Amino acid sequence: MFTLVIGGAASGKSEYAEGLVLLSPHRPRYYIATMEPFDDEGRARVARHRRMRADKEFQTVERYTNLSALRLPERGTALLECLGNLAANELYGSSGAGGLRGAFSAIVEGVCSLRDQCEDLVVVSNEVFSGGERYAQGTEDYLHLVAEVNRALARHADRLCEVVCGLPQYFDTQRGRPECR
């Protein structure tokens, strides 16, 4: 089962997605972290998140780019947190795919590869473009990339959930869903 969970900043999407993983009977549990810590604040955030997950039986896998090269040791349940970080890393990072087309392909192919290795996969992403603001071109490129990835993955997902104020809303994804290749 592949579930895509989207939501705005501080919407409760990550907490909800983690709860879905904890409900899955499939073990082991993998937490695939995409936030690359660049400074002490980032490293402290990673350490805090690891402590928060310590009693939940997660095996943390740090993966900042090239998700399709990741091989899980065995099938289980995975939580990918989050597509927003992965998109920034693929688009702008020195080891990323670079460019909108390359980043898009790397992310979608990577998630499909991960899905094929799991019994259950939950992917967290950001809801974008609800603010109606205009941004600098680099930010616009990033927002368009995340939106395009969200649309593509929604077509591959078994379930699509948007979390608003901590409340999940599910959408039908069964109509015309293409297979990951």
Residue 174: pLDDT band (50, 70, 90) is confident
Contact 121, 3 (CB under 8 A): yes
Tens of pLDDT, residues 27-67: 999 999 999 988 999 999 889 888 888 899 999 999 999 99
pTM of the shown model: 0.93
Which comes out higher in pLDDT, residue 6 or 50?
6
Work out the pLDDT band at 18, boundaries 50, 70, 90: very high
Is a pLDDT exceeding 50 seen at residue 138? yes
Q: Which residue has the tokens 């609800």?
A: 130
User: What three-state secondary structure class fits 56?
Assistant: helix
Task: List the alpha helices (DSSP H) in 30-176.
Answer: 40-53, 83-92, 100-116, 137-156
For range 61-90, the mean pLDDT? 97
User: 2-171: what CATH class?
Assistant: alpha beta
Cis ω on the peptide bond leading into residue 28 (within 30° of 0)? yes
